[in-house]
Structure 1
């Protein structure tokens, strides 16, 4: 759920890697003025495993260690955070290079999934050489505790308030992870929706949090790859503010992932494995909601 951005009357505070300052001519009614605006940064980020290039993603240059770990986990390159080490993150005129090391057997497996070095914003399958590499089945998501729909509503509200980069630039997606009560514990932003989810998965793993004990909310549609990444990470429920694709629904069904679309303040749609979400019954007292909010 992206935060609607209003045009500022003053120069923005863009002192962060994810935003740059640019001069613009702003028109409001009959008035025109030149101001400095905050613009979301988007740069090529090359992921190098054991000295061999694997992928170049267009991404926002923030939380790149989380991005590298999350991408490696969600793409099945490594099985856990302990198998990946960030050796170096270097910046040049051409972009950013993230040098990573993985066990030798993991590096050998990458030879069967070699990618081209160009992609678009968060397009994790751009340049993949075979259909089998794209449609690799994720592991089945483990059974998890059912969540109340109030937890989903709370997470959506909190995510709206936890997007500082989008509030600054109006150009980024966010992915948030909430616990079973709907408290948003982690948020990551990026110009690419896949990148934001990868950053979240990396942050989740780095923090040692169990993905089965909560759920993810994203400010985008739920594409096949978004569902695949969530399933690979062991996240049991993925809620998107926009629609899912048919392939995402099929993957979520087979992976035992609960997939929710059109998650808004006024409702949502459950496409797969609805048993994980408990609905409010007619006449149900608000004690559960009050208790939940009092713990925030």
Structure 2
């Protein structure tokens, strides 16, 4: 038996075995909801996501995927709840919609490849433009943020099943946190929240991003596209993520804990203080 508590969690009756004893208990689980992104009336993608902060998600996804180049090109987001999921109807600038339709037409004509119809690694990875940031960061600010991170993950504390991305000011103060069952979705939500909250000045002033996941190349790509020059991951990066970070000038830390980290690219930005 289950009970839906809200759009993001459900309560289940479970049988729990512990210390040789079996007992009935109640467990709060994170929900995965199909979320369709629809641009100017045309469905583009369906993601399994946590159904909260969806306007942030729509904007962040649109920016991270290069569907729009700036937030002002997303005119409106209409959230429509269906029986089998949620549709995010995004109205974007006509020029961007024409480009999106051309991309869809190109991909529809290709079969048999493993990366979204791309013909080359360069197309699939879409290396970000080189970052121009001169920011430096202190090890103490990273430690401070990591120490504070867990207490700010409300959904993770309830369910144990979600990832989080946080935007951290240069002194280690966590400014924003977004959570989702998917690590990419959490980062997209954070990027959208930064734009919607007009915190780009904070980005320019040397903030950084923490992710509770591994650092895949998509995570590096989305961070760099947001103009942030440091990504701190609590788990490992992939080799491709490191190469992309090296190429675009992003500092990438992995296995980050309060007492250690591994710098995989541009570690000279981290001051040991």
Summarize the Cα distance change of 1:261–1:14 in structure 2 as closer, same or farther, 3 Å threshold.
Answer: farther
- Cα offsets for 1:193-252 (capped at 9, x unmatched): 000110011111111112233000000110010000001111110000011111101111
Once the two structures are TM-superposed, the CA of residue 127 in structure 1 deviates from its matched residue by 6.7
Displacement of 1:26 in angstroms is 1.3
**Residue 30 of structure 1: how far off its partner (Å):** 3.1
Helix, strand or coil: the match of 1:114?
helix
Q: TM-score, normalised by structure 1?
A: 0.83
Alpha-carbon separation, structure 1, partners of 2:151 and 2:4: 18
Pick aligned residue for 2:248 from 243, 250, 255: 255
Counterparts of 2:211 and 2:248, CA distance in 1: 19
My pick for the range that moved more, 163-172 or 129-138, is 129-138
Give the aligned partner of residue 29 of structure 1: 19
Q: Decide which of 40, 48, 56 is 2:30's aligned counterpart.
A: 40
Gaps of 5+ in 1: 1-12, 117-125, 281-296
The 5 A counterparts of 1:1-296 are 15-114=5-104, 128-130=116-118, 131=120, 132-210=122-200, 211-213=203-205, 214-280=207-273
Choose 133-142 or 149-158, whichever is displaced more: 133-142
CA distance in 2 between counterparts of 1:250 and 1:204 reads: 26
Larger CA deviation: 140-149 vs 169-178: 140-149
In 2, Cα distance between equivalents of 1:112 and 1:87: 22
Larger strand fraction of residues: 2
Matched pairs, number: 260
Which ranges in structure 2 are unaligned for 5 or more consecutive residues?
108-113
TM-score scaled by length of structure 2: 0.90
**Cα deviation, residue 86, structure 1:** 3.2
The answer on whether the counterparts of 1:243 and 1:261 sit within 8 Å (CA) in structure 2 is: yes
Q: Report the secondary structure of 2:152's partner residue.
A: coil
> 1:75, 1:232 within 8 Å by CA — same for their partners in 2?
no
Shift of 1:14: 7.7
SS of the residue 1:235 aligns to:
coil
1:27 shift after superposition: 1.5
**Residues 230 and 58 from structure 1, CA distance in 2 versus in 1: closer, same or farther, beyond 3 angstroms?**
same
Change beyond 3 A, Cα 1:241–1:165? same
- The range that moved more, 105-114 or 36-45, is 105-114
Shift of 1:147: 1.1
Q: Distance in 2 between matches of 1:270 and 1:18?
A: 35
